[in-house]
């Protein structure tokens, strides 16, 4: 439920110093309301404006209440021996707990927002639409409950755009998020529509809320990095040859899992058959990763959180949101293919050089060349 203005003023007064609260002339309007935070447009007495994120009151307690309900529900489900044998409830409950803990930390979000804004600043325009980075400001933030950004007063939600603008803005978002993940090594697992604002007059997209940004692990001289594995996952899901796709997916998930080599060998054939069954089904592109994750959980093949609750979940959001549905599916396939192809080709060339030279030199990995990992 959206907050009232009185509630917003009360929260600002509670979390800001008297000096900084005194700078505020008024809360002009509500820009957005999510499960974690509110975003409001604040006007200062000097005439400047900021978009201000405020954590919902009693958020930590509410999260614990919800997690407690989920845990009790999972305990009930475990009483069903068949369900208990099929699904590892504790693993995903802990993953959910870890992800929520990551998102509610505003100081870390400030750092992520600055890094992501620098990247969005470099993104080229598409069909006259462009990204406008939203940098955090220091006007009033002095609390871990409040985070303020450059104002985006004229922005509107996606639903207010014309059909033509929805298509152009949607294409810009999809190709950008894929580029950030596969070329720049940073990915936000929560790029739903509420985390973008749009200005049809200036053809601008404003990305906000960086609470679930993941820094991907780069390639090095010893092993492939996250972009290579992500490319293999996308390639496997999209491959019209479902058997080869399943083989690629099984190979990747076992490599990034926490299983020993002996356990990987023992489960390999069973996992391959399970993924083949998923890929044979008449499922949408964005649904396939969810079903594959279900099979991984059922077979106790645990993969890192940044993949399960991060990258794969984020891919499903990017491919299933209204901005993706507003564009031709062939555009999505056309944009994914070059990104994936480049990662696979770089890794292939890198491995070939390793075979020829006997060993790779530090920093020689072709995948590292375009990653902005620190």
3-state secondary structure of 131: strand
Residue 321: other Cβ atoms inside 10 A? 22
Residue 208 lies in a domain: no
Nearest of 318, 19, 9 to residue 171 by alpha carbon: 318
Domains: count for the chain: 1
pLDDT at residue 242, as a whole number: 92
Are 191 and 317 contacting, i.e. CB atoms less than 8 angstroms apart?
A: yes
3-state secondary structure of 362: coil
Which range (147-151, 203-207, 300-304, 330-334) has the least confidence?
A: 147-151
Residue 54 lies in a domain: no
Give the confidence band of 367 by pLDDT, cuts at 50, 70, 90: very low
At CA 307, angle to CA 272 and CA 86, rounded to 5? Answer: 50
- Helix, strand, coil percent content, the chain, rounded in steps of 5: 55, 15, 30
Residue 41 lies in a domain: no
> Mean pLDDT in the chain?
80
Start-to-end Cα distance in the chain: 39
Residue 15 lies in a domain: no
pLDDT tens-digit readout, 108-133: 778 888 888 899 988 999 989 999 98
pLDDT at residue 369, as a whole number: 33
Distance, in Å, from the CA atom of 216 to the CA atom of 227, rounded to the nearest integer, reads 7
Distance, in Å, from the CA atom of 49 to the CA atom of 47, rounded to the nearest integer, reads 7
The string over 156-187, giving b where at least 16 C-beta atoms fall within 10 Å of a residue's C-beta and e elsewhere, is eebeebeeebbbbbbbbbbbbbbbbbbbbbbb
Reply yes or no on whether the pLDDT at 373 is more than 90. Answer: no
pLDDT at residue 145, as a whole number: 67
pLDDT tens-digit readout, 257-300: 989 999 999 999 999 999 999 999 988 877 888 889 889 988 98
- Decide which of 366 and 293 is more confident: 293
Handedness of CA 26, 29, 31, 37 (dihedral sign): positive
Structure tokens at 25: 């002339």
Question: Alpha-carbon Rg of the chain, whole angstroms?
Answer: 22
Distance, in Å, from the CA atom of 70 to the CA atom of 91, rounded to the nearest integer, reads 13
Residue 187 lies in a domain: no
pLDDT tens-digit readout, 2-22: 788 888 898 888 888 888 889
Residue 76 lies in a domain: yes
Reply yes or no on whether the pLDDT at 191 is more than 50. Answer: yes
- The domain of 89 spans 59-103
Reply yes or no on whether the pLDDT at 320 is more than 90. Answer: no
Nearest of 231, 255, 265 to residue 371 by alpha carbon: 231
Reply yes or no on whether the pLDDT at 155 is more than 80. Answer: no
Q: How are beta strands 130-131 and 204-207 bridged, if at all? A: parallel
Distance, in Å, from the CA atom of 97 to the CA atom of 191, rounded to the nearest integer, reads 20
Structure tokens at 36: 């974690």
**CB hemisphere CA count around 166 (13 angstroms):** 16
pLDDT at residue 142, as a whole number: 55
Please name the residues in contact with 20: beta carbons below 8 A apart, sequence gap of 6 or more: 139, 140, 142
Give the confidence band of 87 by pLDDT, cuts at 50, 70, 90: low
- CA 158 to chain centroid, in Å, comes to 19
Residue 282 lies in a domain: no
Average pLDDT, integer, range 84-102: 67
User: Looking at the chain, how many residues does it have?
Assistant: 374
pLDDT at residue 370, as a whole number: 33
Which range (79-93, 242-256, 290-304) has the least confidence?
A: 79-93
């Amino acid at each position: 439920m959206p907050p009232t203005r009185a509630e917003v003023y009360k929260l600002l007064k509670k979390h800001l110093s008297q000096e900084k609260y005194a700078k505020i002339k008024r809360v002009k309007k509500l820009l957005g309301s999510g499960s974690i935070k509110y975003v409001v447009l604040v006007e200062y007495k000097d005439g400047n404006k900021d978009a201000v994120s405020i954590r919902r009151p009693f958020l930590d307690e509410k999260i614990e209440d919800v997690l407690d309900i989920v845990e009790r529900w999972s305990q009930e489900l475990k009483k069903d021996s068949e369900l208990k044998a099929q699904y590892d409830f504790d693993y995903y409950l802990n993953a959910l707990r870890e992800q929520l803990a990551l998102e509610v930390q505003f100081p870390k979000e400030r750092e992520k927002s600055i890094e992501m804004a620098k990247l969005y600043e470099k993104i080229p325009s598409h069909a006259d639409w462009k990204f406008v980075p939203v940098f955090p400001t220091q006007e009033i933030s002095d609390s871990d409950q409040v985070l303020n950004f450059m104002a985006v007063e004229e922005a509107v939600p996606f639903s207010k755009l014309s059909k033509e603008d929805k298509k152009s803005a949607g294409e810009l978002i999809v190709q950008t998020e894929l580029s950030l993940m596969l070329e720049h090594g940073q990915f936000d697992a929560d790029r739903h529509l509420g985390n973008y604002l749009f200005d049809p007059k200036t053809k601008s997209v404003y990305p906000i809320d960086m609470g679930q940004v993941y820094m991907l692990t780069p390639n090095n001289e010893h092993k492939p990095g996250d972009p290579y594995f992500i490319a293999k996952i996308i390639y496997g899901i999209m491959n019209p040859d479902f058997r080869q796709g399943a083989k690629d997916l099984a190979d990747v998930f076992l490599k990034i899992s926490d299983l020993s080599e002996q356990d990987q060998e023992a489960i390999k054939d069973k996992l391959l058959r399970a993924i083949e069954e998923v890929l044979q089904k008449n499922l949408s592109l964005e649904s396939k990763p969810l079903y594959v994750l279900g099979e991984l959980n059922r077979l106790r093949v645990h993969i890192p959180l940044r993949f399960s609750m991060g990258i794969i979940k984020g891919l499903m959001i990017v491919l299933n949101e209204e901005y993706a549905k507003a564009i031709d599916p062939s555009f999505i396939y056309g944009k994914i293919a070059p990104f994936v192809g480049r990662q696979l080709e770089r890794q292939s060339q890198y491995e070939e050089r390793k075979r020829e030279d006997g060993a790779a030199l530090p920093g020689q990995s072709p995948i590292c060349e375009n990653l902005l990992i620190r």
